[in-house]
Amino acid sequence: MFSSLDASNFSGSIPFYEKQFEEILSKIVICYKLMKTGEAALENDENKIRDSLLLNYLKNDQIRKDINLLHWHFEREVQEDHSIGRTDIKIISPNTFTRQEAYYILECKKLNNTNTSGISGLNAEYIKNGIGRFTSKYYSSYHRVNGMVGFVVDHMEIHKNTKSINLLLTTSFRSIKTTKEITKDNFIDGFEFHYHSIHTDKDNDELKIYHLMFDFHENIQS
């Protein structure tokens, strides 16, 4: 299946990479579900939640084998070659070995119930230092698709909070060019909280961002 992943082998490379990335995201959701039931307590810290997901699940060889994730390699806090960005999670594929820029990025952000409609809350941070890092090309988007993971640490209505993020995006962050707001998706069976949005980067090239909302509020130690 993965003998050749060069875009020239496919008609319409962007749709192919979308489907490929959706497959990766669906397996990351499996890891989230394992983590949610397997981690008794998590610190209320964005990087430590990310590290638990990455080190205990995405880089766990037995889990990778069980869920058919062996073709992908995950690294944290990686400096990009052609920008100043340091990616939360860099996803390396077999194609990366023939084209060094050919990788995906996951940006992780913590979300809570504090000041959800204000420009100083974590919803605003999700936009400014999340979505904005892709549209500004602080992070690269070789495949024109990348992803974000929201770590929900308070009890909240996630769909409602996503609407709050959209309202901020279209009112307080108009400098981020958005052609499609964060919209509910349906490619992952048994997982409700996945979405995508479409934007235009600073060079007027379209890019797609997938959004996964992982609810850890019951796992956060008080």
195-214 burial: b if 16+ Cβ within 10 Å, else e: bbbbbebeeeeebbbbbbbb
| Per-residue model confidence as pLDDT tens digits over 28-78 | 999 999 999 988 799 999 999 999 999 999 999 999 999 999 999 999 998
The residue with tokens 């990766």 is 24
79-87 long-range contacts, CB within 8 A, separation 24+: 80/139, 80/140, 82/140, 83/137, 83/138, 83/139, 83/140, 84/138, 85/133, 85/138, 85/139, 85/140, 87/139
Residues 156 and 144: their CA atoms lie apart, in Å, by 31
Q: What is the pLDDT along the chain (222 residues), one digit of tens a residue?
A: 333 333 333 334 568 889 999 999 999 999 999 999 988 799 999 999 999 999 999 999 999 999 999 999 999 998 887 777 789 999 988 776 777 777 999 999 999 999 999 999 999 999 999 999 999 999 989 899 999 999 999 999 999 999 999 999 999 999 999 999 999 999 999 999 999 999 999 999 999 999 999 999 999 997
The phi and psi torsions of 207 (rounded to 5 degrees) equal -140, 150
The owner of tokens 């430590």 is 48
What is the C-alpha to C-alpha distance for residues 96 and 84, in angstroms, rounded to an integer? 20
Dist. CA 6–CA 99, nearest whole Å: 9
